[in-house]
Structure 1
Amino acid sequence: MSFLDRLFPSLFNRDDPRSQMAPLYTAIVARGREPHWYAQGQVPDTLDGRFDMIAAILCAVLLRLEGEDAARQQSVWLTEVFINDMDGQLRQIGIGDMIVGKHIGKMMAALGGRLTAYREGLAEGGDLEGALVRNLYRGESPAPDALAHVAQTMRALWVKLATTPTPAILAGELPQ
């Protein structure tokens, strides 16, 4: 049993083509859990805050891959791995079967909204700070230096993703 199988037993089945996304999803989660987001960036270190930060990194990756015809299926699989992980996380914290689907639906709507907000925010002249306040900080403006830290780091990631070859990204090699 590999390390990833032990870490995410319900997410990755070797016969499932989504298992190809294990290294990338693991890299996204690791990037979203980096302490600087929560210390310097003042992202709330809560379940919601961690979801929001991982979703922000996931959005940057999905936006990078969206224009790549060759990566279209992998983007779908990556999103499905995210959904499966969120389903497992909800069940682990005690959300019952009857309402897990409702929570997942809300999370998927939130992800869709974030994709639009970050697509616009990361565009040339876009209001990334506004998108971050609405989506990452849920409308509560952090200290200006905290917001600047997150915005600068997200923009730097976006610029580096643009120049990272798609096969490297799909292999989980996110730029530093």
Structure 2
Amino acid sequence: MSFLTSLFKSNRFGADADALYAAIVAAARRPAWYREGRVPDTMDGRFDMVAAVTAIALIRLERDGAVGNAAATRLTEAFVDDMDGQLREAGVGDVVVGKHIGKMVSALGGRLTAYREALAADGTEGGNAFEDALRRNLYRGEDPGAEAVAYVAAGLRRVEAGMAVQLVPALLEGHIA
């Protein structure tokens, strides 16, 4: 982080979520998601996987009221900063970066809602809602096969369980499992 960035960056929400976001990206880039889980190893597929793990983290942070909401805000800011950098690195011009970021944040919000509702429904409706949400969102309507979807669903549930036992300060330090 540059001196000017650190000078003007707001810290009103508490600690930065950079370590948490780095842990999320590392978790989302595990080769097994793309191999066994058959998540497309493309720019879109990698975005979808980062969005899935980020959504799981945001769902976890919702449990902790104001502290969790502040951390979720910081995490979302880290997500936006990273996506901005990724787009610029891919050659997207300044004029349209904002438009792309808006679409990405909207996609993250849609996945957050879908995964939150599906995980809640799994406890009451027999357990297929999360897999269905993954097919619609992570796989964008494609069917990679039941085994691949089950692999990713189980893996994301393990990520969720790992985050569930961590306090917000530990999550912000990047301890997600």
How far residue 13 of structure 1 moved from its aligned partner, in angstroms, is 4.5
How far residue 19 of structure 1 moved from its aligned partner, in angstroms, is 6.9
1:152 equivalenced with 2:154 (yes/no) = yes
1:78 alignment partner in structure 2: 75
CA distance in 2, matches of 1:53, 1:13: 28
1:65 alignment partner in structure 2: 61
Matches within 5 A, 1:155-170: 155-170=157-172
| Alignment check: 8 A CA contact 1:64 1:161 kept | yes
Q: After the TM superposition, which of the residue ranges 103-112 and 17-26 deviates more from structure 2?
A: 17-26
> Normalising by structure 1, what TM-score?
0.88
1:53 alignment partner in structure 2: 49
2:24 alignment partner in structure 1: 28
Structure 1's unaligned 5+ residue stretches are none
CA distance in 1, matches of 2:73, 2:168: 15
How far residue 20 of structure 1 moved from its aligned partner, in angstroms, is 2.1
1:96 equivalenced with 2:93 (yes/no) = yes
Q: After the TM superposition, which of the residue ranges 122-131 and 90-99 deviates more from structure 2?
A: 122-131
Which of 162, 165, 171 aligns to 2:173? It is 171
Number of positions where the alignment pairs a residue of Structure 1 with one of Structure 2:
166
Instruction: Give the alignment's Cα RMSD to 1 decimal.
Output: 1.8
| Alignment check: 8 A CA contact 1:122 1:158 kept | no
1:131 equivalenced with 2:133 (yes/no) = yes
CA gap 1:148/1:164 in 2 versus in 1, 3 angstroms: same
> Normalising by structure 2, what TM-score?
0.87
| Alignment check: 8 A CA contact 2:23 2:174 kept | yes
How far residue 28 of structure 1 moved from its aligned partner, in angstroms, is 0.5
Structure 2's unaligned 5+ residue stretches are none
Q: What do the CA deviations read for 1:131-168 (whole angstroms, capped 9, x no partner)?
A: 10011000001111111100111112222322222221
2:102 alignment partner in structure 1: 105
| Alignment check: 8 A CA contact 2:17 2:172 kept | yes
AA aligned opposite 2:130: L
Q: What do the CA deviations read for 1:14-72 (whole angstroms, capped 9, x no partner)?
A: 44338721111110000000001000000000000000001100000011001212222
1:39 alignment partner in structure 2: 35
Q: After the TM superposition, which of the residue ranges 72-81 and 130-139 deviates more from structure 2?
A: 72-81
